[in-house]
Amino acid sequence: MPSLGADMDAGTLVEWLKSPGDKVRRGDIIAVVETQKGAIEIEVFDDGVLSEIRVKPGDEVPVGQVLALIDGADEDSEPPPAETATKAAGLPSRPMDQEPLRTVSQPTADGPKISPAARRLAQSCGLDPGSITPGKDGVIGLREVEAAAHHADTTQPAGIDQRAMRNAIASAMARSNREIPHYYVTSTLDVTPMMEWLGAYNARQPIERRLLYLVPLLRAAALSLRKFDDLNGAFVDGRYQTTANVNIGVAIAMRKGGLITPAILDTASHDLQSLMSKLSDLVRRTRQGGLKSSELSMGTVTLTNLGEQTADALLPIIYPPQVFIIGCGQIQVRPWVIDDAVVPRQLMDVTVAGDHRVSDGRRGAQFLRNFGDLLARPEEL
């Protein structure tokens, strides 16, 4: 059945004008076919003898099916086999336009409406949209989320939704990797002076007043960051804005996986003892629930410390909209060269990551040097 138009996919044989055994010549009309557009004559393109008729009048057959055989015809010019009707499958095809836009479903059909931007902000602050008071019109917008985030008394409900936390981490980290061009700078710091000073300090203190080594690290980082406007702040709407205070977010791991990075507001304003009690309180409330939203939303920089008996170093990922993160590996006794002699020292690899849209690797290196200098004189912290 020949194709007589792109919109023809079948035809009904009306009559044969030739019989088996008849001689046919190129251009002869041998049959009539009924189509959607009316009867059309079928011509042959070769000379030969009509040897076999395969379709009888009244049959509807698809385009491409053999109607009859002509002997003496060049094989190449036979009607194509039926499968060529689907040869379009071999053609390059256009990829589907675009993936459908992923939409966010409302928490409940009857619950308050929340704007897309507000939903995203709430998620990044760890706020449950259900806990936010909507505006007069029943809608939760950016205004309402911001109010909730800044409301000091708003506390997280006890208990952490493991999946929500994983989603929040996934979205923040994916966004970070997507949007933030990271640079990394690493230094190995000799923290022997700090550890020795801390050992001596803790030995003099009653057990409740002893410090974790994370505390001098936080203090040194906070004091140092006050000098680095371009590392402490937020990158929002294509623009970087530094913040007056240094609010270091501390990465606190959850025992069942995941982590939360609540901030110690105005970190630099606290001395070591005050920092220790803040940290202790923060860890307890992180683990048990009861963080303030402001602690979750107002971090301006993050410090993540692997801790004892873990690994030597990590390459941290910036927590948007922040632009800088400090990653501390475990402290280990390793060989170190001092005055041409190899000596055992307590060493810590510190890797910082910065947002290249705001600062350059040179600034990260300057920070590391400053941070190391402060740790070398722990008594001044």
Binding site for other proteins (CB under 8 A): 2-8, 27, 35, 37-40, 43, 45, 63-64, 77, 79-80, 84-85, 87, 91-95, 101, 115-120, 135, 137, 139, 141-143, 199, 202-203, 206-208, 210, 212, 214, 237-238, 253, 255-256, 279-280, 283-284, 287-288, 307-309
Phi, psi (rounded to 5 degrees) for 180: -100, 120
CB 262 within 8 A of CB 250: yes
- Min separation Cβ 344 and other proteins, Å: 18
184 residue type, one letter: Y
Please, what is the minimum distance in Å from the beta carbon of residue 343 to other proteins?
22
- Cβ distance to other proteins smaller for residue 79 or 233: 79
Residue owning tokens 């804005």? 241
Q: How far is the CB of 54 from other proteins (least distance, A)?
A: 17
Least Cβ distance, residue 203 to other proteins (angstroms): 7
**Residue closer to other proteins, measured from CB, 21 or 27:** 27
Residue closer to other proteins (CB basis): 185 or 250: 250
Nearer to other proteins, 148 or 231 (CB): 148
Q: Which is nearer to other proteins, 202 or 370 (CB)?
A: 202
Minimum distance from CB of 3 to other proteins (Å)?
A: 5
Torsion of CA 142, 143, 144, 147, to 10 degrees: 120
Minimal distance, residue 366 CB to other proteins, in Å: 29
Asked if residues 19 and 4 have their Cβ atoms less than 8 Å apart, the reply is no
Handedness of CA 352, 355, 359, 360 (dihedral sign): positive
The nearest distance, CB 314 to other proteins, in angstroms, is: 15
Toward other proteins, which CB reaches closer, 235 or 367? 235
- Pairing of the two strands 48-53 and 68-71: antiparallel
Tell me the helix, strand and coil percentages in the chain, rounded to 5: 35, 25, 40
Cβ closest to other proteins, residue 185 vs residue 375 = 375
Residue 348: which of 369, 368, 366, 332 has the closest Cα?
332
- Alpha-carbon distance of 331 to 343, in angstroms, equals 16
- Two tokens at 36? 């959607």
Nearest CA to 152 out of 58, 3, 291, 288 is that of: 291
